[in-house]
Amino acid sequence: MTPIDHAARIGRVADEVAGGVLLVTDLTDLRWLTGFDTSNGWAVVRSGELIVGTDGRYGDKAIAETAGTGARVIVEQDRARLQQQRDELSVGATNDGLIRRLRRVKDAAEIERIEEAARIADAALGEVEPMLAGASELDVRAELEYRMVGLGADDRSYPTIVASGPDHAARPHHGASRRTIQEGDTVIVDVGALVDGYHSDMTRSWVIGLATEQQRDVYELVVKSQQAGLDAVAASATSRDVDAACRNVFDQGGMLDWYLHATGHGVGLDIHEQPFHNQASEAELLAGMVVTVEPGLYRGGFGGFRIEDLVLVTDAGHRVLTHSPKRELN
Same domain flag for 218 and 276? yes
Q: Is residue 325 part of a domain?
A: no
Q: Is residue 328 part of a domain?
A: no
Same domain flag for 231 and 183? yes
Same domain flag for 119 and 156? yes
32 pLDDT higher than 90: yes
Where residue 291 sits, what CATH number does that domain have? 3.90.230.10
The candidate with the shortest Cα–Cα distance to 261, out of 188, 209, 181, is 188
Which tens digits make up the pLDDT trace of 190-212?
999 999 999 999 999 999 999 99
Q: How far apart are CA 156 and CA 117, in angstroms?
A: 9
Q: Is residue 41 part of a domain?
A: yes
Q: Is residue 265 part of a domain?
A: yes
Which tens digits make up the pLDDT trace of 75-129?
999 999 999 999 999 999 988 899 999 999 999 999 999 999 999 999 999 999 9
Same domain flag for 200 and 90? no
Where residue 64 sits, what CATH number does that domain have? 3.40.350.10
Would you tell me how many other CB atoms lie within 10 Å of the CB of residue 4?
Answer: 20
Same domain flag for 75 and 184? no
292 pLDDT higher than 90: yes
Among the three residues 83, 103, 123, which one is the final residue of a domain in this structure? 103
Q: How far apart are CA 72 and CA 249, in angstroms?
A: 54
* pTM for the structure as a whole: 0.96
Same domain flag for 92 and 206? no
Residue 232 one-letter amino acid: A
Q: Is residue 179 part of a domain?
A: yes
Rg for the chain, CA atoms, rounded: 22
Q: Angle at CA 241, nearest 5°, toward 117 and 267?
A: 20
DSSP 290: E
pLDDT on residue 14: 93
Average pLDDT, the chain: 97
Say if residues 28 and 270 touch (Cβ distance below 8 Å): yes
Same domain flag for 129 and 163? yes
Same domain flag for 153 and 288? yes
Domain that holds residue 211: 108-320
Q: How far apart are CA 13 and CA 243, in angstroms?
A: 32
Q: Is residue 1 part of a domain?
A: no
Split into its structural domains, the chain has a count of: 2
> For a pLDDT cut of 90, what percent of the chain falls above it?
96
Q: Is residue 330 part of a domain?
A: no
Same domain flag for 170 and 315? yes
Same domain flag for 52 and 14? yes
pLDDT on residue 330: 86
Same domain flag for 166 and 303? yes
pLDDT on residue 160: 98
Q: Is residue 39 part of a domain?
A: yes
Among the three residues 66, 83, 103, which one is the final residue of a domain in this structure? 103
188 pLDDT higher than 90: yes
Same domain flag for 311 and 205? yes
The candidate with the shortest Cα–Cα distance to 224, out of 295, 171, 310, 318, is 295
Q: Compute the average pLDDT of residues 297-307.
A: 98
Among the three residues 58, 74, 103, which one is the final residue of a domain in this structure? 103
Which tens digits make up the pLDDT trace of 45-83?
998 899 999 999 999 999 999 999 999 999 999 999 999
pLDDT on residue 19: 84
